[in-house]
Amino acid sequence: MSALNRYKWPIITLIVTIVVLTLMIAIGLPLGLISSEPDGLERVVIDSKGESWLEGLSSPWKPILGWIQSEYVAGILGVVLTLVIMISVLYLIVYIKKKKRSA
């Protein structure tokens, strides 16, 4: 029971992060898709280099992630990868702390 109490706040933090990321995708992505105006980064590029510069721009991730056709799938994949990384780091921290205590 003490292990559960010890890891209670990291687990709560992880759950809150998952919920917030899911809400960000569920609410923010459709808003970005329905907007015809460029976002902040696109506006800076258009102002500095002109709108024609964006037409020839290709993503360096295209060869690796070119199979993703839907932005929802890309968002979900991003959240899943983020969670895997977060859980892996949390597990690594717990493993290192346990190893130090037992030594």
Residue pLDDT tens, the chain, 103 long: 566 677 788 888 888 888 888 877 777 666 655 666 667 777 887 888 887 776 776 666 667 667 777 777 777 777 788 888 888 888 888 888 888 888 6
Residue of 20, 10, 4 whose CA lies nearest to 89: 10
Task: Give the model's pLDDT for residue 10.
Answer: 81
Task: Give the model's pLDDT for residue 25.
Answer: 74
Domain ranges of the chain: 1-33+70-103
> Could you tell me the pTM of the whole model?
0.46
